[in-house]
Structure 1
Amino acid sequence: MSHAEVFQMSVWIKGIIVALVCVLPLLEGCTRHSKKEHYYLITVNVDLPYWKSANEGFQKAASDYGVSAEMRGPSRFDPQAEVQEFRTVVARKPAGILVSVTNLDLLRPEIDEAIAAGIPVITMDSDAPASKRLYFIGTNNLEAGRLGGQRVAAQLNGKGNVVFFTMPGQPNLDERLKGYKDVFSGYPEIKIVEIFDMKGDSGLAMDKAQQYLGLKGKDRIDALICLQSSSGSGVGEALRRAKAEGDPGRLLVAMDTDDSTLQLIKDGVIDSTIAQKPYTMALIGLKALDQVHHDPVKQMGGDYALDPFSPFPAFVDTGVALVDKSNVETILTRKEAAGP
């Protein structure tokens, strides 16, 4: 290669280097996502399988987008602690918050303050429709209750004593209870004996179930209904022990698809469970928050409920399904294939 050619080559390389130096900062500035964007999922009982599944969806979306995500909340049922976690996260001025509302009265003002500060807030699993949250992603809990109610009515042939395990005051659980009551209103021989507050404690639910199983004669409980996931395994274990001691068995309809509940269905202890999609809720939730963060609306706290030109839906329904012995293997196989 001649000296002239070498000189031309060096000039060409220097030109490329100068171009890259000028263009790379522009490309970096055009990148939509960054690890500096922090999204939070706030709930209670973060150690429950239900919320671990939700966090998997949350982290998957974060990984897809290249942003940071964290689930926070108490490891036991504690609405006050959830509020404190919400406040802590708001103070960090995150890109967005996805929250499951355990206590509407406590969280509503906190959500409204976050929205007023320009922080996008979307509810999942349990809603706060009276707040200024942008919208709700999750189960149509009224329909979930009606689905369970239809199953109970069919299995009891329209008559019997039933009890509920729930946590009164939690919006999603109250809606499920209403759904059951809507169905039972058409069956006058189905009697609701008690609505038991299990306070988020599986052990407490199990102890109470054992008391119910001891009732005889006209007071005999024919069906036990769990409106919240953590009660299903405890009540199911009480039934399993009773059957081992000769009890003829009672109808148990649970909620959600943790491994212990699915195994008890497979073993014939639990009749069925109402399946939700927490993974999907959180996956969609982070992506929805990201959209609002990057394409903000002019008025974050606007009244979008009656707005025919609203940029947001009122509700994203992630669906429910009834799981019984006929299809439980399908879910177990899918879970095994997905891995831990």
Structure 2
Amino acid sequence: MQNRIWNVGLIILAITFAGLLSAFAITILHTRELAEQLEHKNGPAASIDQMRVALISQELDNPFWRSVETGARTAATEYGMELTYMGPLRINPSEQSRLLEKAIAQGFDALLVQGLNDPVYARLIGRASASGIPVITIDADEPGSKRLAYVGTDNWQAGEAMGQLVTRMAGQQGRIGVLLGSEATNMKLRLAGFRSVVNKTPGLSIADVRISNISRLQATEQTTDMLNKHPKLLAVVGFSALDGVGIAEAVAKEQASDQPRVFAFDDLANTRQAIRECRITAALVQQPARMGQKAIELLHDYMQNGEVAAAIHFTKTNVLDELGACR
């Protein structure tokens, strides 16, 4: 009798266990089906949802970098990434390095930065890469570093294009003043490309090169001083976004009838207005929003495939002028 009760108990226990096991198997299958449906619905981007990306700008509220942010944020939203934008209040390479070091410590999944052509900065990029954090440089590259890719203007070619623009619209005989926004690599490359055209044009020479620190006020001050020291310049060229309007303000104060032509970079609202009013002859325009967008696209490709198609991705430039109406 006792054995029969024991056997019945074992049978009941076995049936209960089998029922629990079946329920567990059904739950697993249902969960797998839901996961497959979600993967099919969301596509490849689902694998990088909530990826945290830091964009470290050269200067926090600079219009150029705000455009880079806009492009990057639009693409980040499309791919389900979280973008954090940061930068120094004023141009400060040391602060850019500090922000990069901080972003690495905070464990961002990817970094978008401006290159500084600085060994210390390159080592920070190497540290990020060694930690599994891909880094893409924007606007200015960091050659020789472990960055994943560069996205931005071909700055040497942009300087060359500016030289050709000046010779075509201002002439091939005279001295030229030049303003650089900073001593960053991209500015030096633009100047080198510009010099290549000037040096091949026997009647042209560069009278002076100044730094505006990407400040409209300093661009005006530097141009005023330049014009006092080098009267009768053929043209004054600005290679950063705020230079053109600052140069135009200084030139407008000159009483001479043969005022120099003004050439600008990028298409801020004030620059466009000055071109319409013939206070600026022309501007060479970059595509900062496209830079930010492309950088995020490359990150998406990298997270999907483990590589990017190429390490260098140049964005286009175009000329903004009044179709010769100011000549």
**Structure 2-normalised TM-score?**
0.83
Q: 1:278 offset after TM fit, Å? A: 0.6
The counterpart of 1:274, out of the listed 284, 307, 318, is 284
Q: Which residue of 1 aligns with 2:188?
A: 174
1:213-228 matches, within 5 Å, as 213-215=227-229, 219-228=231-240
1:156-215 deviation per Cα after TM superposition (whole angstroms, max 9, x unaligned): 321111111115641111111111111111112212111112223321111111223345
**Aligned equivalents of 1:233, 1:43: Cα separation in 2:** 22
Q: 1:35 offset after TM fit, Å? A: 4.8
Q: 1:102 offset after TM fit, Å? A: 3.4
**Aligned equivalents of 2:56, 2:224: Cα separation in 1:** 33
Tell me: CA distance 1:232–1:102, structure 2 relative to 1, closer, same or farther (3 Å). farther
Tell me: CA distance 1:280–1:46, structure 2 relative to 1, closer, same or farther (3 Å). same
SS at structure 1 position matched to 2:90: coil
| Contact preservation (8 Å) 2:232, 2:258 | no
Aligned length in residues: 296
1:189 aligns with 2:203: yes
Q: Which residue of 2 aligns with 1:163?
A: 177
Tell me: CA distance 1:18–1:118, structure 2 relative to 1, closer, same or farther (3 Å). closer
Tell me: CA distance 1:102–1:206, structure 2 relative to 1, closer, same or farther (3 Å). farther
Q: Which residue of 2 aligns with 1:124?
A: 138
**Aligned equivalents of 2:54, 2:111: Cα separation in 1:** 5
Q: Which residue of 2 aligns with 1:6?
A: none
1:50-199 matches, within 5 Å, as 50-167=64-181, 169-199=183-213
One-letter amino acid matched to 2:242: S
| Contact preservation (8 Å) 1:104, 1:170 | no
Runs of 5+ unmatched residues, structure 2? 1-25
1:324 aligns with 2:321: yes
Q: 1:231 offset after TM fit, Å? A: 1.7
The counterpart of 2:264, out of the listed 239, 251, 254, is 254
Q: 1:248 offset after TM fit, Å? A: 4.0
Q: 1:69 offset after TM fit, Å? A: 0.7
| Contact preservation (8 Å) 1:198, 1:231 | yes
| Contact preservation (8 Å) 2:208, 2:226 | no
Q: Which residue of 1 aligns with 2:274?
A: 264
Q: Give the structure, 1 or 2, with the largest relative contact order (CA under 8 Å, sep 6 or more).
A: 1
One-letter amino acid matched to 2:64: Y
RMSD across aligned positions (CA): 2.5
Runs of 5+ unmatched residues, structure 1? 1-15, 298-310, 329-340
SS at structure 1 position matched to 2:242: helix
SS at structure 2 position matched to 1:229: coil
Q: Which has the larger radius of gyration?
A: 2
Identity of matched residues, %: 25
Q: Which residue of 1 aligns with 2:310?
A: 313
Q: 1:33 offset after TM fit, Å? A: 4.5
| Contact preservation (8 Å) 2:182, 2:212 | no
**Structure 1-normalised TM-score?**
0.80
Q: 1:149 offset after TM fit, Å? A: 0.1
1:263-313 deviation per Cα after TM superposition (whole angstroms, max 9, x unaligned): 11111001111111110011010121122234335xxxxxxxxxxxxx541
